[in-house]
Structure 1
C-alpha cells in the first residue's frame, strides 16, 4: 500500500543511472525518518538500458516508491515536473540519481521546516570534491527566516536539494524550465520559490545531502566554450532581473547578478581565454562582454570585489590581452598559512594562524609602494589602464577574510571554526612586499558542529582566503608535535599529517592517545598495577579513557619484529594491557595491569588497518616489576 500522507516527496529523475542508483537507494533505506512517512518518486527519462526495470522492481518491493517513465527529454527538468504533478508530500525534495542523503538528514530537515513554518528550506549540503561547498551560506548557523534581513546569499548554492512546500509550488505554478540542456534549471525554480515564499529557512546543524561528483552528473557539461552556456546564462540573468524586480527584492537581485557576473561571466570566461587556442575564448569574450554591458550596472559593478571591478572595466572594452595579463598576476600570488601556536583552553583547542599573501618570486611583484600608499603592482602596461583608486589598496590592509573549516575525510562533512583576525600588516620580504594576517581560532570538540559534538573521524584543517576577490582554499601547515587532549572521555589528537598540514584524529584511526601523550620512561610499578606518567596530555574534567587499543606482544615471538600486525594475529599473540588514561595523583597517567611473565614486550596500537608497532615497550623482571621504555 502506497504512503497516503507523506511528510516529504523525494523526486528523482533517472537516466542510465548505473551503480549510482544503488547509492541513492541505500541512503534512503538508512533514513531515520520512518519509511512510511516519506515517498520516493522516480521518473525515468527514457533510459535505453535497464534502469526503468530496476525502478519497477524497487516499486514492487517498497510501499513508499513509485516509478514513472517518459520519452527522453534530454534534461532532468521534465522528469522533475512530472514528479511534482504526482507528488503528495507536504514538502518536495529533488535528488540527483547518483547522490545520497545522510542518515538523519530527512528527519531533521522536515522537523526544522515544520518548526520554522518554512515554505523553502535550504539544508546543509556537502560535495565529495569540494571542501568549501555551501559553507558561505551556513556560517551563521540555523536561520529561521532569511527574508527578515539575512539575505538570499544564505540560500546559495541554488541547487534543488532543498525542501519546497508543495502547495506553494502548485499555487504559483513553479516548474523547471523544460528542454534539452536547460542549464541552471534549478536556479530558475529557486529564484521563483524565494520570491513566492513567506518563510525561507536555513538549517546548518545537521548534514542532509551529499553530492557525489561523477561523470554521470550533468554539471561537468557547463562549458563556456559552448554557445548554449552563454544562451542559458543570458536567460537566467534575464529571469533574475525580471523575477526579482522592485524595491522588495532589490538586495536579492543585486546579490545574484553580482554573483553571476563574478563567477560565470568573468571568472569562467577569463579561465577559458587563458587556456584556449582554438578561438573559442575570443567568442566567449564577446558573449561575456554583452552580458556585462546588459547587467553590469554601476550598482552591480560596485558590489564586485576589487579584482573583478578591474576585470569588468577591461571586459566592457573587450581587452582580452589585459584580462589575461591581470589574471596572470593573480596566479602569481603565493599564499601560505601556518599554525604558529596551539594549546588547550577549557576544553577547546585554541590556535593562532599566520597567513602570508605575497609574490612567489621577486620577478613578479604583487604589491608596491608609492610614498605612504600601497598599490597593486600589475605590469606597467596593465597598470596604465587602471584608475589609481582601484590600484590603491592601502586601506584594504585589514579586509582579508580568513574562514577556517575542518573537513572529515570519509564523510565529506565540513564544519566552520569560529575565528577572528587580530592583526594585519604590509611588510617587506626577500621576494617583495607582502600582506601578513594573524588569526585566532577556537575548535570546541563538544559544540563545534553548530552546537553539537563533532563526530568521530579524521578531520583536516583548511582555510578559505579572500582578499579583493583573489581567493584560495588552502590546507593549514603545522610543524609541531601532536597535542593530544582527553575531552569528556573522547580522545582528540591534533597532529601533522603526511602533507605537513594539521589534521585532528577523533577516532583513533591513525593516532593513539597513549603514544602521542608521551609516556615517561622509567619504573612503572608492578605488572598487576602499573602506572606510567604522561607528559603531553590535556584532560578536561575527571573523565577517563579506556585505552583498549593497546596490546603487548612478547619479543620472543616472531610477530614482534613486524611493523604491522593484523587483528587476527594480535588476537592470537597480543596481551591486553587493561589500561585506561586519566588524571592520577601527580597528573595524567596511563594505568593498567598486564598478566604476563618476565620478559620484554613491544606495545602495538590499533589503527584502521590493523595494529601498528609503537616506539614503546616494557620489561617485566622476575619480581613482576615493570620498566617502561621509549625508543629514541
Structure 2
C-alpha cells in the first residue's frame, strides 16, 4: 500500500454548504487518492455539517471524520487533526477555502526536492492584496528572509516529523492570533523553508455571509493584546537583540508592530470606529508598543509610519486622528506611455506617484541639507511645527506591477522591476516616484505558463514614505478603446484595451472583446497585396512560434473558416483564406462577424482565390489584364512559378 504523502487537516464548525463547496477541490487533487488523506475535525457543530462530512467520507476511503466538543476556535481541532495524521507532510486548509487541482502534488514535490520543513504555496484571494513574497519560487531559505512574515496564515505544508520534533501546537480555546503563534514558531525552528510561487496553491475565498472576513479578527475580549505579547516574546527568545534597525529581530518584529499595533492608530480603523472605543484601543496599543517593542523597531519605520509611532508613544490620540485624516486623502496616480507589442510582450513605460488630497504631489522639502516631510500634510499635526525629518526617503519603499486574472483571482508578476528615485520639482522640493517598464508576456506570465483565457487587469502597488496604495494602472486614452493592436500569441489572440474607466487590461483568447470593429477600422488603411490566398496584416503582432488562430469570416456572401498565422520573417500576422471558394469571379469583401468595414478583399476566378488584397490596395492596368485571363490553368501555373 502506498505511503501517505500528505495529510490535509480541515477544522469545521457549523460550515453547512461551504463543506460541499470546498470538498471537490480536496477530492480532485492530481496526487493519487491513495497517497493523501483528508482529515476533517468537527468542532461540535450544531447544524448539518457532521452529516455532510459523513456522506463525503462514505464515498471516499481517503477521508476520515473526527469530532470533539465545541472549543470555539480552530486551534484545538487542528491539533486533534495532527494527532490523527499519518502523512509525511501536513497541509492545513480552512473549510471555506479551496486548493488548486495540482496543489498537493506540486507542494510535496517541492518539499521533497528541497528537504524543506515548511513550504509556502502561492495564495490567491478575493480579500487581500497579493504579497511580493510569492513573486519568485525559492528552493530554500530561513527566517533570515524576513519577507516570510508577510504570510502568517497556517495554510501551508509542514513536515510532520519536524512538527512533532519541536512540539509545535496551536494555542487552544478562544485565542486570537493562534495562527501567528504557530507559524512564527515554525519559522524560527525551521532549517529549510521553501516557497512555491509559480502555481496558485491556495484560494482564500470570501464567504457570502462574511463569516471569514478578517476585519472581525480583532477582539480585545479574547486576549488580543496578551497574545500579541506572547508572540513578541517568542520572537525575542528565538533571535538576538540588537539596536541596529536592520537586525533580524527588529525586522521580524516590524510586521507585528505595523499590522497588529500601529493599525490601531491609522486609517481606516481609527476613523471608522466609535471614538470612545477607539481611544481604549489606542491606549492599549500604546502600552504594548512602549513595553514590548524595542525603540529600534519604531526608529526603523519610514517617515509617515514613524510619525504615527511617535504620536502613539506620546499618547496623542487627537494628533493620530488628524494625521489619519490627512493620509486618508492621499491618492496614487499612474502615468502610462503608449502600450505596444515587442517580441510577444506587451510593454509600456509607467510612472507611479502619490498626490495629496488637494491633487498636488506629496513632496519632500530640502532644508539644511536634510529632507523634511511635506508641510501641507503635517498642518495641524502636533509636534511637527518645525517639520518632520525624513532621514532616508527610500526606507522600506518599493513599488511593483501586478497582473490579476479577473475570473480566477490569481495574481502574477510581470518581468522587470520599478526603480525608485527623487524627482526634482524646483524650489528645493522633490517627490519620491517609481518608474519602469511593464513587460507582460501572455505565454509565460502564469508561472512560466500561458495566461488562462480571460481578462487580465494591470495593477500597481506602491509603498512610499510609509504610505501604501494599490491602484489600477490608468491611462489618458479614450475609455473602451484598444490600448494597442491585437497580437497572435501561442495560438490565441491577445487584445489590450482601456476599460470603461480607462484602466489597462488584456483580454486573452477573446473572453469579452472580439477581433472586430476596432480591427476593421485599422484594416481599412491596409494597402498590402498578398500572395495567392494569404494577406499580411501589419497591425496584428505575432510571435513566430505561435500556432494559427481560426476565424469565422464572410467572403462575399459565403461564411468560411480563415486562419491568422505568423507572417514569415516578421513580428506580424497574416490572414489565410481557403484556396478554393464557391464564389463567382470578382473581388469579394472579407468581413469579420458584425463588422461593416472589410478586413480585406479576395480576388476569385473559377472558384480559386487568386490573391487577397488590403482594402486600400489599388491594382494597376496590368494586374487587371492578368486577372482577366487568370482562369487559364497554364497561366496560373506560370504565375506561381514566377512568384507573380
Q: TM-score, normalised by structure 1?
A: 0.84
2:150 to 156, 161, 168: 156
Following superposition, the deviation at residue 330 of structure 1 comes to 1.7
Q: Deviations over 1:49-74 (max 9, x none)?
A: 11111111111110100001111110
**Uncovered stretches (5+) of structure 2, i.e. residues with no partner:** 617-644
Tell which deviates more after alignment, 503-512 or 290-299. 503-512
The equivalent residue for 1:342 is 339
Q: Distance in 2 between matches of 1:328 and 1:157?
A: 29
Within 5 A, what are the aligned runs for 1:360-371? 360-361=357-358, 367-368=364-365, 370=367
Say which of 450, 460, 463 aligns to 1:463.
460
Picking from 39, 46, 49, the partner of 2:44 is 46
Name the residue aligned to 2:162.
Answer: 168
2:204 to 198, 211, 215: 211
Alignment of 1:20-59 (within 5 A): 20-59=18-57
- For the pair 1:503 / 2:541, whether they are aligned, the reply is no
2: CA distance, partners of 1:426 / 1:37: 57
Structure 1 residue ranges without an equivalent (≥5): 556-573, 606-611
Most deviating of 536-545 and 36-45:
536-545
What are the superposed Cα offsets for residues 242-280 of structure 1, whole Å, 9 maximum, x if unpaired?
354679xx9553233211111221124433322233510
**Residue correspondence of structure 1 range 566-585 to structure 2 within 5 A:** 575-583=559-567
Report the more deviating stretch, 336-345 or 375-384.
Answer: 375-384
Shift of 1:339: 1.7
1:360-439 superposed matches below 5 A: 360-361=357-358, 367-368=364-365, 370=367, 374-376=371-373, 377=375, 378-382=377-381, 384-385=383-384, 388=387, 390-392=388-390, 396=393, 400-421=397-418, 424-428=421-425, 434-439=431-436
Quick one: which of 249, 258, 277 aligns to 1:253? 249
Q: Number of aligned residue pairs: give it.
A: 592
CA distance in 2, matches of 1:381, 1:236: 36
Q: Alignment partner of 1:547: what SS?
A: strand
Cα RMSD of the aligned pairs, angstroms, is: 3.4
Equivalent residue runs for 1:48-447 within 5 Å: 48-132=46-130, 135-139=131-135, 141-147=136-142, 150-154=144-148, 156-180=150-174, 182-214=175-207, 215-217=210-212, 219-223=214-218, 228-244=223-239, 251-271=247-267, 272-361=269-358, 367-368=364-365, 370=367, 374-376=371-373, 377=375, 378-382=377-381, 384-385=383-384, 388=387, 390-392=388-390, 396=393, 400-421=397-418, 424-428=421-425, 434-447=431-444
The whole-number CA distance in structure 1 between the counterparts of 2:420 and 2:270 is 37
Change (3 A) 1:325 1:107: same
CA contact (8 A) 1:128 1:213 kept: yes
- Choose 111-120 or 328-337, whichever is displaced more: 328-337
The separation in 1 between residues aligned to 2:369 and 2:287, in whole angstroms, is 39
**What is the CA deviation profile of residues 473-514 of structure 1, one whole-angstrom value per residue up to 9, with x for unaligned ones?**
011113263233223434332221222111112222123457
Query: Kindly tell me: are residues 595 and 61 of structure 1, through their superposed partners in 2, closer, same or farther at Cα, counting changes over 3 Å?
Result: same
Q: Tell me the secondary structure at the aligned position of residue 252 of structure 2.
A: helix
Q: Deviations over 1:520-574 (max 9, x none)?
A: 4679989x964444232222225342223x343988xxxxxxxxxxxxxxxxxx9
Secondary structure of 1:577 counterpart: strand
Matching residue of 2:629: none
Once the two structures are superposed, residues 434-491 of structure 1 have per-residue CA deviations (whole angstroms, 9 ceiling, x without a partner) of: 5444322322333333444433332111111010110000111132632332234343
Aligned equivalents of 1:423, 1:254: Cα separation in 2: 24
Preserved contact between residue 222 and residue 229 of structure 1 (Cα < 8 Å)? no
Is the CA contact (8 Å cut-off) linking 1:367 and 1:434 kept in structure 2? yes
Distance 1:34 1:54 in 2: 23
Match of 2:636 in 1: none
Q: Which structure: larger Rg?
A: 2
Residue 603 of structure 1, CA deviation: 4.4
Change in 2 beyond 3 A, CA 1:436/1:187: closer
Partners of 1:27 and 1:101 within 8 A in 2 = yes
Secondary structure (helix, strand or coil) at the match of 1:307 reads: helix
Name the CA distance, whole Å, in 1 between partners of 2:514 and 2:604. Answer: 30
Q: What is aligned with 2:638?
A: none
SS at match of 1:375: strand
Give the whole-Å Cα distance in 2 for the aligned partners of 1:60 and 1:245.
52
Report deviation, 1:322.
Answer: 1.2
Cα distance change on mapping 1:143 and 1:614 into 2, 3 Å: farther
Residues 493 and 549, structure 2, Cα contact 8 Å, conserved in 1: no
Counterparts in 2 of 1:357 and 1:523: CA distance versus 1, 3 Å: closer
Q: 1:585 to 1:332 in 2, by over 3 A?
A: closer
Give distance in 2, aligned partners of 1:423 and 1:614.
48
- Does structure 1 residue 546 correspond to structure 2 residue 549? yes
- Decide whether aligned partners of structure 1 residues 424 and 46 sit closer, same or farther in structure 2, where only a CA change above 3 A counts: same
Query: Contact between 1:12 and 1:43, CA under 8 Å: does it hold in 2?
Result: yes
1:223 CA drift (Å): 3.1
Could you tell me how far apart the structure 2 residues matched to 1:513 and 1:604 are?
Answer: 8
In structure 2, relative to structure 1, the CA distance for the partners of 1:365 and 1:170 (3 Å cut) is closer
What is the alpha-carbon distance in structure 2 between the residues aligned to residue 363 and residue 516 of structure 1? 36
Say which SS state the counterpart of residue 43 (structure 1) adopts: strand
Contact 1:545 1:582 in 2 (8 A): yes
Pair 1:226–1:351, CA change in 2 (3 A):
farther
Checking the alignment, whether the CA contact within 8 Å between 1:224 and 1:230 is kept in structure 2 is no
Q: In 1, distance between residues paired with 2:95 and 2:79?
A: 15
SS of 2:567's equivalent in the other structure is: strand
1:556-575 correspondence runs (5 A): 575=559
